[in-house]
Amino acid sequence: MVKVIKGTSVFLFLTLSLVKGAAGGIASSKHDLRSSSAFGSTAQICKVCHVPHKSASTSFLIAPGRVYSGSVLTTYGGVVGAPTNSSAICLSCHDGTTAPAVGTTTTDFTHSHPFSVVYPTTKTGYGAAVGGKITGSYGALPLEGTSSNRMECGTCHNPHEKGVGSKFLRIENTNSNLCLTCHQK
């Protein structure tokens, strides 16, 4: 019984620490939507995207009906299937209606990097992916999905950290450093 209580206490402490850290990165950023009437003007910074009860996804905890449900999209790399993983979450706002779409202010994604695609580890010119991460000279980028092999919005962007130039980038893109993590030419 004592072990269970200790284990629960440690779990709650770590969870609250992570939540506090994530909320700190969102506070005063473009993702701080607490006062937005479109989201019910909540005082809870996480509640805009996360609903721990009755969620549509166990990994992202977003409210039902808020996940992007479009089917096929066309990016500059060609046609991609229906957005999955973090991309479906991001596009629930960044579809050009609630917030600007990726690279444009409409629902046209032809100027956007491909997302919701399997990372091409076997193609020449791409960085190796090991253990669900693409590792290059400038850092590591996470892959998503059950097989940890999919490039999603969350591969290059971390919605919980302002990142460089408030673009929520995981790696600074000066001199194309972010791009060169994957595109090793």
| Token couple for 65 | 């009906």
Q: What is the pLDDT of residue 21?
A: 45
Cα(69)–Cα(71) distance, rounded to whole angstroms?
6
Q: What is the pLDDT of residue 49?
A: 74
Q: What is the pLDDT of residue 18?
A: 41
- Report the first-to-last Cα separation within the chain, whole angstroms: 57
Question: Across the chain, how many H-helices and E-strands are there?
Answer: 4, 7
Q: What is the pLDDT of residue 5?
A: 46
178 by Cβ neighbours in 10 Å (0-12 / 13-18 / 19+) ranks as buried
Q: What is the pLDDT of residues 78-125, one digit of tens each?
A: 888 778 888 888 887 787 666 666 655 556 678 888 888 999 988 889
129 compared with 73, residue with greater pLDDT: 129
- What's the predicted TM-score (pTM) here? 0.73
Mean pLDDT within 54-82: 69
Q: What is the pLDDT of residue 165?
A: 63
pLDDT surpassing 70 at residue 1:
no
Q: What is the pLDDT of residues 2-47, one digit of tens each?
A: 454 444 443 333 343 344 445 557 787 777 777 665 655 566 777 7
Q: What is the pLDDT of residues 135-176, one digit of tens each?
A: 888 899 999 988 999 999 999 998 888 776 667 899 989 999
